[in-house]
């Protein structure tokens, strides 16, 4: 799979440059004072725990940004399952260059691999390929591009990219708009002037029923927020409008399996794919 087909490489480069500037600043005073500028090294990329590797191209971009002559070679591809103790690639080039790029490159690779691993575990825990496991906007500021890419590499899918590419009316929008009834009237007007997908969050079956009776053909998807399994099933049975159904709120690796086999669920969104994930332990070992 070509994960980078629609990936914004130019934005990725800009983010990488900022990260390198943050780390290197006015210069690597340790390497510049203790390592000869002519020194050349080789370093292995070592995985220290089981998981899914993600962000290899990003890792390579970091080193090439510091020094285009540094060579990075991989033995696996993005999205591959890796095991503790596995050497997944190597870096060759000027020692100073490798050391300047090392931390930023590893930080991105570790973070992305941790997210991909979490996505893989969520998919496996769910055990139902008919239901997509998707991310949210609960991402690290300025890192969403990388983190959403990592979700896909782990077998998950992406929700909206930001506030601009989909209308998602949540509880705070409804409250600020004067209630669900007024929101419904506004949906009817907005639908006439946009082709963007429209999704509405509901908190109970009464709100869901109100949508089925008033916005059939106008709303694309409904988010069932913190619904019990019993109420999820009731909502699906009463989904006369044919809305795509999203499950959200409190879903984790321990309880996601309870949605397995429920026909009518299109996707499950999990903030935990990105907001509290543990980075994978990966090291760069000089040889």
pLDDT at 241: 97
CB 97 within 8 A of CB 128: no
Task: Give me the helices (H) in the chain, please.
Answer: 9-24, 29-34, 56-66, 95-126, 144-153, 171-177, 180-191, 205-214, 229-237
The CATH classification of domain 125-273, taken from the options 3.20.20.70, 3.30.565.10, 1.10.150.120, 1.10.10.60:
3.20.20.70
pLDDT digits (tens, 9 = 90+) for 24-55: 999 999 999 999 999 999 999 999 999 999 99
Q: Give the domain ranges of the chain.
A: 9-117+278-286, 125-273
Q: Is 69 a catalytic residue?
A: no
- Find the radius of gyration of the CA atoms of the chain: 23
Out of 135, 199, 225, 246, the active site residue is: 225
Q: What is the DSSP letter of 6?
A: T
| Tokens matching residue 79 | 């999205």
> Does 78 score more than 90 pLDDT?
yes
Contacts of 6 (CB under 8 A, 6+ apart): none
CB 46 within 8 A of CB 285: yes
Q: Is 138 a catalytic residue?
A: yes
Rounded to the nearest 10 degrees, how much is the dihedral formed by the CA atoms of 145, 148, 152, 153? 70
Out of 13, 170, 191, 233, the active site residue is: 170
Q: Return phi, psi of residue 92, to 5°.
A: -130, 135
Out of 13, 103, 197, 221, the active site residue is: 103
| Tokens matching residue 279 | 């980075």
pLDDT at 286: 97
Q: What is the CATH number of domain 9-117+278-286?
A: 3.90.1170.20
pLDDT digits (tens, 9 = 90+) for 239-271: 999 999 999 999 999 999 999 999 999 999 999
What is the Cα–Cα distance from 124 to 118, expressed in whole angstroms? Answer: 10
| Tokens matching residue 135 | 């991310």
pLDDT band at 62 (very low <50, low <70, confident <90, very high): very high
What is the Cα–Cα distance from 36 to 59, expressed in whole angstroms? Answer: 24
Q: Please compute the mean of the pLDDT values over residues 148-173 and round it to a whole number.
A: 98
Q: Please compute the mean of the pLDDT values over residues 60-66 and round it to a whole number.
A: 99
Q: Is 246 a catalytic residue?
A: no
Average pLDDT of the chain, as a whole number: 98
Percent of the chain past pLDDT 90, that is, above it, reads 99
Residues forming a β-bridge with 248: 225
What is the Cα–Cα distance from 12 to 60, expressed in whole angstroms? Answer: 12
CB 118 within 8 A of CB 273: yes
pLDDT at 35: 98
H-helix or E-strand spanning residue 109? helix 95-126
Out of 78, 102, 201, 246, the active site residue is: 201
pLDDT band at 1 (very low <50, low <70, confident <90, very high): confident
What is the Cα–Cα distance from 232 to 205, expressed in whole angstroms? Answer: 9
Q: Could you give the angle at which helices 9-24 and 56-66 cross, rounded to 10 degrees?
A: 60
pLDDT at 88: 99
Q: Is 258 a catalytic residue?
A: no
Q: Is 225 a catalytic residue?
A: yes
Out of 138, 197, 203, 233, the active site residue is: 138
Residue that has been written with the tokens 């540094």 in this structure: 70
């Amino acid at each position: 799979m070509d994960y980078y087909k629609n990936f914004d490489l130019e934005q990725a480069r800009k983010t990488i440059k900022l990260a390198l500037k943050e780390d290197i600043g006015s210069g690597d005073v340790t390497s510049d004072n203790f390592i000869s500028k002519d020194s050349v090294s080789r370093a292995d990329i070592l995985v220290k725990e089981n998981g899914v590797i993600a962000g290899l191209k990003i890792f390579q971009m970091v080193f090439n940004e510091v020094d285009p002559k540094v060579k990075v070679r991989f033995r696996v591809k993005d999205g591959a399952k890796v095991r503790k103790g596995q050497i997944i690639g190597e870096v060759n080039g000027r020692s100073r260059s490798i050391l300047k790029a090392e931390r930023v490159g590893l930080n991105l690779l570790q973070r992305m691999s941790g997210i991909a691993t979490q996505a893989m575990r969520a998919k496996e825990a769910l055990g139902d390929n008919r239901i997509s496991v998707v991310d949210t906007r609960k991402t690290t500021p300025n890192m969403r591009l990388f983190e959403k890419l990592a979700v896909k590499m782990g077998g998950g899918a992406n929700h909206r990219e930001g506030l601009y590419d989909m209308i998602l009316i949540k509880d705070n929008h409804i409250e600020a708009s004067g209630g669900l009834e007024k929101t419904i009237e506004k949906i009817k007007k907005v639908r006439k002037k946009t082709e963007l997908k429209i999704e509405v969050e509901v908190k109970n079956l009464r709100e869901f029923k109100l949508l089925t009776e008033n916005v059939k053909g106008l709303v694309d998807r409904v988010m069932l927020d913190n619904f019990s399994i019993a109420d999820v099933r009731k909502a699906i049975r009463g989904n006369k409008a044919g809305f795509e159904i999203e499950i959200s709120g409190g879903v984790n690796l321990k309880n996601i399996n309870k949605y397995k086999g429920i026909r009518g669920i299109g996707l499950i969104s999990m903030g935990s794919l990105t907001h509290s994930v543990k980075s994978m332990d990966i090291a760069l070992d000089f040889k």
